[in-house]
Amino acid sequence: MDKRVRILFSAVFVVALVGLLAAACAQEEPAPAALGGKALSEERCTVCHDLTRVHNAQKSAEEWKQTVERMVGKGAKLNQDEQAAVIEYLTEAYPK
């Protein structure tokens, strides 16, 4: 095989390999909304405090809703679907 042809094949191979690696690295992680209420609570609520206060609380669904909304007002990063998942989890795990 001619030296120029080998260099061309090598260059094409390297470009293809770099493209595959870039594509693999660019894949996004699953959206946090896919996380369940427990995982969201463990991930998002612990940014500001540990979960001791959550584990010690017992609230109704409405009280958990108010608590979660208050925490979002203070900066907790939860969209509407995530809030609903957290409220459902907390209501079931720590009922009044």
DSSP per-residue string spanning 74-90: TT----HHHHHHHHHHH
Instruction: Give the domain extent around 48.
Output: 34-93
Residue 53: which CATH number?
1.10.760.10
**Residue-wise pLDDT tens digits, 34-90:** 689 999 999 999 999 999 988 899 999 999 999 999 999 999 999 999 999 999 999
pTM higher than the cut 0.75: no
Give the angle subtended at the CA of 28 by the CAs of 19 and 83, to the nearest 5°.
175
Judge if 47 and 80 occupy the same domain: yes
**C-alpha pair distances (Å), 21 with each of 2, 7, 12, 28:** 29, 21, 14, 14
**Residue-wise pLDDT tens digits, 17-46:** 566 666 666 654 445 446 899 999 999 999
Judge if 43 and 77 occupy the same domain: yes
| Burial label, 63 (beta-carbon count in 10 A; 0-12, 13-18, 19+) | middle
Judge if 26 and 71 occupy the same domain: no
Count of structural domains within the chain: 2
